[in-house]
Amino acid sequence: MALDRGNRGPMARKSRMQRISWRALLVMAATFPLFGLGCGCSHERLITLTNSDSGRSVAAAVGDEIDVTLQTIGPGQYGIPTLSSKSVRFLGVSLTGSPNPGGPRQLLRFKATAAGRAKISIAHEGGVPGGPTTPAFRITVEVH
């Protein structure tokens, strides 16, 4: 007995469409996790530090941003940082927060760019002549 494949009727078409949609759903489900790998998405994080973190060692991943907020009490301000390697790049400095009569609050931004170790030193400049000096802010960043 021969089967007539040309006459399947509306139920046969629906069944075939269901099979196609299930197949498409399975393909999408299987490939969806791959989209996150190749989209350029990152898991960069923001590391925030203040005056009290001076002397610390900090771990960072390539791509992480490191924000250092330094408050000066009295005259002067923190200068341009010195970096011991190209593992970390200096992005810039700006004043942050509302004006403070005690002294400026500065935000210094850095980016971890390559694996390695970078020592960052930020000297304080322009204090009272002959007065006490403010120690430099220093950290070591281990970039992995």
Q: Into how many domains does the chain fold?
A: 2
**pLDDT (tens digit, 9 = 90+) per residue, 110-125?**
999 999 999 999 999 9
Q: For residue 104, what pLDDT is reported?
A: 92
Q: For residue 99, what pLDDT is reported?
A: 77
Q: Is the pTM of this model over 0.75?
A: no
Domain contains 5:
no
Spatial separation of the C-alpha atoms in residues 143 and 58, rounded to whole Å: 9
Domain extent for 17:
10-40
Mean pLDDT of the chain: 82
Spatial separation of the C-alpha atoms in residues 45 and 11, rounded to whole Å: 54
- Residue 33: which pLDDT band, with cuts at 50, 70 and 90? very low
Q: What is the largest CA-CA distance in the chain?
A: 111
Q: Are 128 and 66 contained in the same domain?
A: yes
3-state secondary structure of 10: helix
**pLDDT (tens digit, 9 = 90+) per residue, 41-90?**
567 899 999 999 999 999 999 999 999 999 998 889 999 999 999 999 99
Q: For residue 132, what pLDDT is reported?
A: 81
Domain contains 4:
no
- Residue 101: which pLDDT band, with cuts at 50, 70 and 90? confident
